[in-house]
Amino acid sequence: MPVIDLAEVSRRDLNSQLHALVPSTNETHWRVENPNGQHALAAGVDAPITIEIAGHVGYYCAGMNKQATILIEGNAGVGVAENMISGMVHVKGDASQAAGATAHGGLLIIDGDASARCGISMKGVKIIVKGSIGPMSAFMAQSGMLVVLGDAGDALGDSIYEANLFVRGNVKSLGTDCVEKTMRDEHKAELRKLLDTAGLNGEVSVDEFKRYGSARTLYNFHVDNASAY
Amino acid sequence: MCGIVGLFLKDRKLEPKLGSLLAGMLEVMTDRGPDSAGFAVYGSGDADHVKVTLRGRELEGIAETLGHGVKGTLRDNHLVLSFPKDREDQIRTWLAAERSEIKVIGVGQRIELYKEVGLPAEVSKRFGLPDMSGTHGIGHTRMATESAVTTAGAHPFSTGADQCLVHNGSLSNYRSLRRMLEPKGISFETDNDTEVAAGYLSWKLRDGATLAEALQSSLVDLDGFFTFVVGTESGFAVVRDPIACKPAVMAETDQYVAFGTEYRALVGLPGIGSARVFEPEPARVYAWERH
């Protein structure tokens, strides 16, 4: 198992080594020590490998991830798993702002809280936050699922398109065009599947969640609004 | 951009190391603010004496000229004068009359304040930050936006006794706030937006608000982007604007409370591996008092 100590090796060297991996690589389990809040760690990985990062990381960790499973054993700075395409990113601590922003796919699990703008402009990613999320989360969310076991801050889902938001705790306020929606069986099944994937089977009941999504009133130009432009 | 660091000690055993810890934190924030750097340290002092930080040229001999009971510590182009409280008016009058080109940048019981253009490591070395001791300190690395790269525009800003403020962000209503504050007796040395925020807090504190109350009302009255870290003789506080435009991270242990614009700045602190590391929430005032 390659062990990279960032006290000895530069972040660029680490990322270059990860970028050079081919899909058939046998080096499938990496460990990164002494991250010390450095930025862009394990960003742009495109290989079916597991990377454990032993501590707190800075901005854009695991950004653009494809295929890899990336475990962060601490807190993550701004933009963790930003624009992820596939794979899995698991933050054992808290995540700062814009976690999972613009991500197209994959799974982002945050054991602690995520601050403002979690899942902003998400495009298909599945995000589970075991704690609470900050204000303006899922702003302009386009597709995917955001599941929050705790509370959500102000203006959840402002200008949302078609993402599904599930919140177990309180929502401080909903953003423009975001409304509470009925939890149908298909949503419960989908939520159950995701909770189980995140290892929450037996712990959390889907009946405790409320579902939020788009009222779809901002989709098309409305002539009554002409004077606003 | 800009970088902020702050360290508030709970454990007195760390006091001799305050300067070296703060210097380490400040240097890490160089790439967020290479234009200028500054710091305030709350060091020794007592209720019977006043400490004044002066910035200028030809500062040698001022303490001797002022004579009786006046001690001077010269650090590059800054001079910290310490003298009995009852001489304050006389000394200030002398400075205004004889050496009006010298800037008074900090006044209080314990505050010392240093700032200069240049890279943070150079500024820290010039003033000997690593050797300073104290109970708490605040530092700033500046990437200028609202006003010029000058020493006067460097942070921290101090507009009241033992008060200082550093700022990451930019304010948009500072001209109108300044017009409101000036008739109330709050004066300003520069055209800087941050100095107005400092003056605003001084005004609130003067009128009896606690540090936490003053910051709470700043959330209503200030318009713009800000993360503030504020020091007083016995207090240390942090607040971020309601949309948390600028980054911030904090760490707390039994020994200290630390603030950094990025976690990287906190990495060198003792016991950071087991510290409670958290992001201060938007529009929430965090304040600590020394007892």
Is B263 in contact with A55 (Cβ distance < 8 A)? no
Mean pLDDT for chain B overall: 94
Nearest to B258 by CA among B29, B10, B28: B10
What is the average per-residue pLDDT within A18-42?
A: 96
Q: Which of B54, B84, B109 is the last residue of a domain?
A: B109
pLDDT in tens, B48-97: 999 999 999 999 999 999 988 899 999 999 999 999 999 999 999 999 99
The pair of structure tokens assigned to B16 is 């001799």
Give percent above pLDDT 90 in chain A. Answer: 92
Q: Does A30 map to a domain?
A: yes
The pair of structure tokens assigned to A168 is 């177990």
Report helix, strand or coil for A127.
strand
Sheet strands side by side (includes B71-75): B71-75, B78-84, B49-55, B103-108
Q: Both B68 and B133 in a single domain?
A: no
Could you tell me the pLDDT band of residue B147, with boundaries at 50, 70 and 90? confident
Number of domains into which chain B is organized? 2
Structural domain harbouring B86: 45-109
Q: Both B27 and B67 in a single domain?
A: no
What does chain B come to in residues? 291
Q: Both B52 and B182 in a single domain?
A: no
Asked if the model's pLDDT at residue A187 lies above 70, the reply is yes
Mean pLDDT for chain A overall: 96
Asked if the model's pLDDT at residue A229 lies above 70, the reply is no
Q: Please check whether residue B281 touches A, CB under 8 A.
A: yes
Q: Both B88 and B195 in a single domain?
A: no
Residue pair B82/B71 in contact (Cβ under 8 Å)? The answer is yes
Is B249 in contact with A96 (Cβ distance < 8 A)? yes
Is B282 in contact with A116 (Cβ distance < 8 A)? yes
Q: Both B196 and B92 in a single domain?
A: no
Is B267 in contact with A75 (Cβ distance < 8 A)? no
Question: What CATH number should be reported for the domain holding residue B277?
Answer: 3.60.20.10
pTM: 0.91
What is the average per-residue pLDDT within A165-183?
A: 97
Q: Both B182 and B277 in a single domain?
A: yes
Q: Does A226 map to a domain?
A: no
Q: Both B63 and B170 in a single domain?
A: no
Q: Both B30 and B89 in a single domain?
A: no
pLDDT for the residue A134: 95
Asked if the model's pLDDT at residue B278 lies above 90, the reply is yes
pLDDT for the residue A53: 98
d(CA B194, CA B191) in angstroms, rounded, equals 9
What is the average per-residue pLDDT within B194-199?
A: 94
pLDDT for the residue A184: 96
Q: Does A43 map to a domain?
A: yes
Could you tell me the pLDDT band of residue B149, with boundaries at 50, 70 and 90? confident
Asked if the model's pLDDT at residue A226 lies above 90, the reply is no
d(CA B108, CA B181) in angstroms, rounded, equals 21
Q: Both B34 and B175 in a single domain?
A: yes
d(CA A193, CA A110) in angstroms, rounded, equals 17
Nearest to B164 by CA among B136, B132, B187: B136
The pair of structure tokens assigned to A127 is 């995000």
Q: Does A224 map to a domain?
A: no
Could you tell me the pLDDT band of residue A225, with boundaries at 50, 70 and 90? confident
Strand duo B103-108 + A210-214: pairing: unpaired
Q: Does A225 map to a domain?
A: no
Give, for A14, the enclosing helix (H) or strand (E).
helix A11-19
Structural domain harbouring A52: 3-214
| Residue A228 DSSP class | G
Q: Does A137 map to a domain?
A: yes
Q: What is the ipTM of this complex?
A: 0.86
Question: What CATH number should be reported for the domain holding residue A193?
Answer: 2.160.20.60
Could you tell me the pLDDT band of residue B189, with boundaries at 50, 70 and 90? confident
Nearest CA-CA distance, residue A193 and chain B, Å: 31
| Residue A136 DSSP class | T
Bridge partner residues of A122 (DSSP): none
Q: Which alpha helices (H) appear in A138-198, and where do they start and end? A: 185-197
Q: Which of B61, B83, B109 is the last residue of a domain?
A: B109
Q: Both B21 and B159 in a single domain?
A: yes
Number of domains into which chain A is organized? 1
pLDDT in tens, B5-34: 999 999 999 999 999 999 999 999 999 999
pLDDT for the residue A227: 80
A chain contacts of residue B273, beta-carbon cutoff 8 Å: 55
Nearest CA-CA distance, residue A30 and chain B, Å: 21
Q: Does A220 map to a domain?
A: no
A chain contacts of residue B247, beta-carbon cutoff 8 Å: 77-78, 96-97
Active site residue B164: no
Q: Both B151 and B66 in a single domain?
A: no
Q: Which of B55, B88, B109 is the last residue of a domain?
A: B109
What is the three-state SS of chain B?
Answer: CCEEEEEEECCHHHHHHHHHHHHHHHHHHHHHCCCEEEEEEECCCCCCEEEEEEECCCCCCHHHHHCCCCEEEEECCEEEEEEEHHHHHHHHHHHHHHCCCCEEEEEECCEEEEEEECCHHHHHHHHCHHHCCCCEEEEEEECCCCCCCCCCCCCCECCCCCCEEEEEEEECCHHHHHHHHHHHCCCCCCCCHHHHHHHHHHHHHHCCCCHHHHHHHHHHHCCEEEEEEEECCCEEEEEECCCCCCCCEEEECCCEEEEECCHHHHCCCCCHHHCEEECCCCCCCEEEECC
What does chain A come to in residues? 229
Q: Does A93 map to a domain?
A: yes
Q: Both B39 and B55 in a single domain?
A: no
pLDDT in tens, A48-80: 999 999 999 999 999 999 999 999 999 999 999
